[in-house]
């Protein structure tokens, strides 16, 4: 019982080890890791761009505040309140200092974002190149596996056995063909066979006549003198159409009489 258990453990371990060392598994893991790294880098780039956009918004808000404070100071001076105008200008100076600091941070953020975009483009190109290399290596591995399987199959195949099998098959096919020819010859000589040939001839003649009529109707072939004498021009009867038209006119006239215009 224990020996069987240990054999099972060894087989399981060997199977797992084979999967770990399998080139196809290794290549697929490498491809997935490249994609995951690219996604992480793109997420970092999104965060950098988000911070840049926040700094832009803060700078715009501070600029609007400075303009508004300057406008208020001007209004206070026009009303003769110099002290209030001074307070507005002091507050504007504070906003201006904050704006300068934000602009410096924004400039740095803009530079970082541009560098990040360039890095992402390079990373994407590198991932595409490595992915193509991985796919090519997987194709080579598959091809090598197929070739190895073919070679193993050929190694266990005996050419002599195959040749003997082919000879037996060829003999059987020749016998079957000869027998079929003999039966066909007997069928042709029998009364039933001659009657079947006559039926085939009659069916073929009828088909030829129908085909000739169809070609004549379609204008593909010219009528023979016999066909020209027996053929008559066809006319389309319009009695049913006239009758239907009269019924429709009567229905319309009746509807007009029952619903006169007001």
pLDDT of residue 63: 94
3-state SS, one letter per residue, for the chain: CHHHHHHHHHHHHHHHHHHHCCHHHHHHHHHHHHHHHHHHHHHHHHHHHHHHHHHHHHHHHHHHHHHHHHHHHHHHHHCCCHHHHHHHHHHHHHHHHHHHHHHHHHHHHHHHHHHHHHHHHHHHHHHHHHHHHHHHHHHHHHHHHHHHHHHHHHHCCCHHHHHHHHHHHHHHHHHHHHHHHHHHHHHHHCHHHHHHHHHHHHHHHHHHHHHHHHHHHHCCCCCCHHHHHHCCCCCCCCHHHHHHHHHHHHHHHHHHHHCCCC
Average pLDDT over residues 202-212: 82
pLDDT of residue 13: 45
pTM across the whole model: 0.44
Q: Which of 91-100, 171-180, 206-215, 246-255 has the highest mean pLDDT?
A: 91-100
* pLDDT score of 75 more than 50: yes
pLDDT score of 66: 93
């Amino acid at each position: 019982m224990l020996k069987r258990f240990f054999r099972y453990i060894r087989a399981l371990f060997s199977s797992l080890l084979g999967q770990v060392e399998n080139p196809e598994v290794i290549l697929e893991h490498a491809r997935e890791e490249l994609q995951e790294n690219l996604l992480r880098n793109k997420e970092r780039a999104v965060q950098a761009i988000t911070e840049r956009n926040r700094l832009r918004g803060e700078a715009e808000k501070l600029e609007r505040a400075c303009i508004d404070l300057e406008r208020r100071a001007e209004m206070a001076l026009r009303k003769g309140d110099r002290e209030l105008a001074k307070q507005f200008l002091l507050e504007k100076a504070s906003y201006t200092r904050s704006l300068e600091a934000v602009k410096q941070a924004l400039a740095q953020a803009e530079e970082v974002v541009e560098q990040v975009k360039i890095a992402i483009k390079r990373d994407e190109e590198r991932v595409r190149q490595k992915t193509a290399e991985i796919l090519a290596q997987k194709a080579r591995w598959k091809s090598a596996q197929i070739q190895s399987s073919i070679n193993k199959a050929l190694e266990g195949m005996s050419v002599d056995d195959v040749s003997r099998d082919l000879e037996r098959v060829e003999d059987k096919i020749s016998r079957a063909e000869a027998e079929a020819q003999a039966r066909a010859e007997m069928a042709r000589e029998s009364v039933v066979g001659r009657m079947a040939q006559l039926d085939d001839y009659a069916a073929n003649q009828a088909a030829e006549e129908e085909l000739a009529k169809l070609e004549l109707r379609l204008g593909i072939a010219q009528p023979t003198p016999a066909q020209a004498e027996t053929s008559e021009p066809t006319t389309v009867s319009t009695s049913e159409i006239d009758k239907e038209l009269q019924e429709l006119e009567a229905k319309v006239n009746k509807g007009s009489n029952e619903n006169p215009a007001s």
